[in-house]
Structure 1
Amino acid sequence: MKTWRAVLAIVGGTFVEAIRNRLLLLSALFALVLVGLSVSAASVSIGEQSRLIVDVGLAAASALGSAIALALSVSSFAGELRRRTAYAVLARPVSRWVFVLGKYLGVVLAMALLVALMVLATAAVVWLYGDSVPAALWGSLWLTLVEMAVVVAVGTLFSTLATPMLAAAYAGGVVLAGNLAADLRDLALELAKKGEGGAPLVEWGYYLLPDLQKLSLRTQAANDLPVSLEYLALGSAYGAAYATAALVLAMWVFTRRRSV
């Protein structure tokens, strides 16, 4: 019971810190961008406004959300270690894995709020144009939340391994490569067909990276295409498995560290 109270305390502190620092301001800026986009979309042929708004809105939610998720995960973890503010928590009878879990969940909770605001703003602009909100938009909201959980887990993992600057660079590289992971898989298949020796290495690279395209429904939402529950379930399971693996590894690394 004491362990989970400690986790909840760290989650709450991390969430409040994230909200105070960046998230509300960025949400307001995102809403302003959507308003500007809606004005620009007025010049597009009838029927294209909502498609453009949904496509750009979801792309911004994913890209901006990933950038903020990395910044928050690195600053709230590696930043606290560098500034030694984490010592106040770790000096108490709190296990290191509890600290990692609390930090992770706090950032994920903050990102859930931010992404929800972004997607709701997108839906509001579509509604103001008099169009119906695509059902796939809500599925996209869910998978974007799963994507943020994966990105925060990657940022947390590298924060346990490197300095804040290096952690941000490494995690950013992994997330960027994760958006291109499907191309890496296709390359591995092409190399295998040609009998090239590098095919297994490329294939292993694909499996190690998070395939973030599996968590994207931009095309379906923008074109109001149906999304099966099976697709949502498989995407959710994949994201949960990857995030859990990265988080458990982060806990293990931080627990094994000789110094904070």
Structure 2
Amino acid sequence: MCFNSCALIPANILLQTDRASRRQRRYWVHPLLTQRGTKGHFASLYQDLKNHPEKFVAFCRLPMEAFDRLLELVRRDLTYQDTQMRKAITAEERLLITLRFLATGESYASLHLQFRVGKSTITKIVRCTCSAIWQKLQPIVMPSPTEDTWQRVAAGFQDVAKFPNCIGAVDGKHVRVLQPAHSGSKFFNYKKFFSIVLMAVADAHCKFVCIDIGAYGSTGDSRVLRTSQIGMQILRDGVTLPAPQPFPGTTHPVPFMMVSDEAFPLMPNLLRPYPRR
């Protein structure tokens, strides 16, 4: 008697076995990745770029001196221990990969081939490095505004624009993103692409004073401001705002205010233009 032994095995088990065999890794480390120490961008370009500061700026959009200062701030968070299996990626290379990603917007697949680092590894590097940069730099370059902060901003608008009692210009910016999974139309904005909203307040010199990031692209600027920390803590509560003071040459006290476009509502601390109609 002759029979096919496979007929006794359920079809779903055969399918799972076939998928498992196809999922088996061909390499423990891909041959391209083993060349990271000799042919990767960090190994072949980093030292040369440091010898040519103008090219360094063109590569990562950051002066070499600023790169070194930033590296010292985040080095401890980006330093990992070598193991018997492999040598850890250095803090310098992690920072360079992240800055190159932020400067160019290149895909992880492209950076993977340039730096000879795995795509999943680059994903983790960019996320961890960005988090470390924010934790170290936020208290230095963008601390929570205080009454003194608003006084300095108001003085800047008075000097540059002759606009008294102005503590900033507020507006929203749509930052294009790929559609997040299972998000429906939440991130689809009126400009017909997927985005998150960056709500920011800028001073008279176009520098950010405070920001709020992450609102759905489908949400209007007015609602984003109303539900953001800027709207709830600064414009509504007014905890950090200076007390109203008169305009130059007058005696009636006027509240400090932000300026915006006509997409925003009129509030005691928010000034907007007259409607077009």
Q: TM-score range by the shorter chain?
A: under 0.3
Higher normalized strand content (fraction of residues): 2
In the superposition, the TM-score normalised over structure 1's length comes to 0.27
Higher normalized helix content (fraction of residues): 1
In the superposition, the TM-score normalised over structure 2's length comes to 0.26
Structure with max Cα Rg: 2
